[in-house]
Structure 1
Amino acid sequence: MRLLIMGPQGVGKGTQAELLAKHYGIPAISTGDIFRYNLKNNTPLGQEAKGFMNQGLLVPDELTNKIVKDRLAMDDVAKGWILDGYPRNAAQVEALDTMLEELGTPLDAAVALTADRSVLMERMTKRAEIEGRADDTPEAIEKRLDVYEHETAPILDIYRDRSKLVEVDGVGEISDISAAIIARL
């Protein structure tokens, strides 16, 4: 099973990715984890990414695509994977399409979790309090949700047009949301 898990910050993508990974016996891969692995292990890709990050810049799509492709070519993903946090824009969708074609591993589905903006704000504000996350100010949360709406949400239509989109309400009991995703897959 090869899945994307998509949705705005605070909708529960990471939680559901982990539960689905256990259910299907495949790794959940977040782009953040891939970057941290490459930085920690000082790989050539990690060194390249660090150069951008040290300047306070976003890692460009081209490098992000290389890092994801490198991860999807590893042995532990032979039976499948769940990608969390990628693709984030239309250019990354095209790059992922090319990667999957080259690797001979077609995408099974893109799971999109949904929730009202007010629920997301409440969840992330609570998370900031619990985890002490300085980056989860109301202003920062609003900005990230706006970026998602303008850059990432439009790519859901690409997967909808390909009949690959599975939309599930991200509000409710965690186990009920997982069950709904699995039933829809």
Structure 2
Amino acid sequence: MLTIWGRENSNNVKKVLWCAAELRLNFTHINAGGTYGKTDEETFRSLNPNGLVPLLQDNDLALWESNTIVRYLAAKFGQHPFYANDPLVRAQAEKWMDWQISTIVVPFRTVFVGIVRTQPEQRDMGKIEAAITELEQHFTILEQTLAGQPYLSGDVFGIGDIPLGSFIYAWFEMPIKRQPRPHMERWYQRLCARPAYQSTVMTPLT
């Protein structure tokens, strides 16, 4: 039995819910974190000592770290090409999962918290604009890649699209000035056409 812990408005939780929806998995969802609490309770901490969401329970397994959970679900329940059989093809997709964590998360968090969760009069626009500039530099790499392939995973949608795809919804929905990136925008529109993306990622920004 699968259980996913985490509040639905968390970008990291969205990754896991989206992946589970794409795989059409049956699972129990428990809202936790933020205003829902629970993450400081002994039961939750015994499963994830970090006290963070998302958390996946699969029978006796308790697994944390959003990208690791996505990999696990894809490996256990997915099929080719969503989870590629060829290690080379799979690695080309998975590198974008690590790139999202290592390169995108910090400046993205600055922009998201500053724009979505901070009142206008309290925003540090200098810090926000610097983070947007940094993200735009990184997204040049994304644009160049997507000029030659429709998805980050390659010719078809796969796990490499999920981590960044979960964040990119907010990037395009936030009221900020963005550089025109036609290939990145077409990729985003392909994601928006997916029912699983619509139901798990395309929710109000809070």
Q: TM-score, normalised by structure 1?
A: 0.32
Larger RCO: 1 or 2 (CA < 8 Å, sep 6+): 1
Q: TM-score, normalised by structure 2?
A: 0.29
- Considering only CA atoms, is the larger Rg found in Structure 1 or Structure 2? 2
